[in-house]
Amino acid sequence: MIEHTFTPVIRRILQKAFGKSAKTIFDRSFLLQYLNIKTKAAERGAKSRASYANLYALYVVIEDYVNNKYHQRNDYKDYEGARFIQLFRRQRQLPFGSKLQNHALNHRLNEEFKKFFPNCEFIPILRNVKTSRYWINENLLILEISGRKLNIAQAILLIIDSYIEVRRDIFKHFIRDCQQLRMIQREDSKAVDIFIRNLLRPNVDARIFEIVSYAILKEFYGGQSIFWGWTLDDVKADCLVLYKTGRTNANDGGIDFVMRPLGRFFQVTETVDAGKYFLDIDKIQKFPLTFVVKSEDSVEEILKHIRIQAERSYKISRIIETYMNCIEEVINIPLLLERFAEVKTKNKLQNVIDNIVVQSKVEFNYEDTEE
């Protein structure tokens, strides 16, 4: 079992709930081991991946179980199940959960759980597709230790609550750091520079990477103009403006940023997966896409890797070229850093920080009143 900074918190909660049986429960429970894996990001900073979706899917189903007192009863097998819409609404009420989708409840939690524990015969969430009813798999909640049946449902809720509280504190510090840097950037631009560069690393949280990429590219393109018009007499200069279309992981049709007036589409991605790239291209009827890739590999290496995958999957040159021609541009981390350097020379560092603060608050559903 892996040990990380949040593991002692899990152990303390189990110790308080189960005393001498705590270690045995931790060692034998697949759900607790799963939580231990998923809470590695507890103290890694706001830029680390926090795994809210799968944790919240687990949380809301177990919360329904506890709220209905099934942890104190023996008739959960007769329960009609929790309604999907209630679980879905509840997970969106939780911190950082306002824009979560239904994927974790429907299949992603179970798929990931099976990946980590292929020898476990149970999956966490059971559902009836026809009735949209959901249950927690009680086999994973009840353990028999020394002849006693112990239910870990309440302990799991406490563990997730504690993890989210740690993440909330970390994110508050992240926002405060951004706000402080915004105030001192003229006196200490080097500190701001280092701070932003540290947010452009392959291991950062996808949402932070997307936000910082947007903040940089918005200012980079904002300094450029095009000349256009409906007639020769109507030609005018117009600045390029980049818009963020939605939150990370939202159902946005494969588009994260849109540029006016050129109509360029941008998609931010963590992977170099030809299947995903081509799916995003298909979503917008093979309209050209610019991919902002969370990778330090060269643009040439990324394109080469995509082509190799495409040739392996499609075989037909004409199909491959159709998709490859839809990749308008690849922007990797080194290119983002170059554009960030150019933005700094134009004294737009303040704007970058401002955008990071604003977009982070939107993305993480953070209110100033929480400070």
Strand-pairing partners, residue 267, are 291
Contact criterion met (CB below 8 Å) for 105 and 125: yes
* Maximum C-alpha span of the chain: 89
Say which residue, 168 or 65, is predicted with more confidence: 65
Residue 264's closest CA among 305, 297, 218?
218
What residue ranges do the domains of the chain occupy? 7-166, 186-370
The Cα–Cα gap between 219 and 50 comes to 28
Instruction: Estimate to the nearest angstrom the gap between the alpha carbon of 163 and the chain centroid.
Output: 16
Which tens digits make up the pLDDT trace of 150-186? Answer: 999 999 999 999 999 988 887 777 777 777 777 776 6
Task: Inform me whether the pLDDT recorded for 194 exceeds 50.
Answer: yes
Contact criterion met (CB below 8 Å) for 178 and 360: yes
Mean pLDDT of all residues in the chain?
A: 88
Count of CB atoms within 10 A of residue 162's CB? 17
**Which helix (H) or strand (E) is 239 found in, with range?**
strand 236-239
Task: Inform me whether the pLDDT recorded for 5 exceeds 60.
Answer: yes
Whether this prediction's pTM lies above 0.75 is answered by no
The Cα–Cα gap between 86 and 98 comes to 14
